[in-house]
């Protein structure tokens, strides 16, 4: 999968969630991780929260993309 496709898939996942801890973790990642993608400086809690979020999405927990688009269409 190329980088653009991965970014789109991540954006879909973000739009599909109402879980504030996922959103907070992603914000913290953007604030903390340097441009090299180094996770070493992230708190263990953030890393475990992100990993848990990924497990939840992989398990099918979340909001379908079309419902999220309806919810957020005023921003799209």
Domain range annotation of the chain = 3-75
* Contact indicator for 36, 2 with CB cutoff of 8 Å: no
Residue 24 neighbours by CB under 8 Å, 6+ apart: none
In tens digits, the chain (76 residues) has pLDDT values of: 678 888 888 899 999 999 988 888 888 888 776 555 667 777 888 888 888 888 888 888 877 778 888 888 877 6
Q: Using an 8 Å Cβ cutoff, are 39 and 47 in contact?
A: yes
């Amino acid at each position: 999968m190329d980088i653009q496709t991965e970014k789109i898939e991540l954006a879909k996942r973000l739009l599909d969630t109402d879980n504030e801890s996922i959103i907070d973790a992603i914000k913290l990642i953007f604030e903390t991780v340097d441009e090299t993608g180094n996770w070493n400086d992230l708190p263990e809690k953030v890393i475990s929260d992100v990993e848990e979020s990924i497990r939840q999405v992989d398990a099918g927990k979340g909001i379908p993309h079309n419902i999220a688009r309806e919810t957020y269409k005023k921003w799209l």
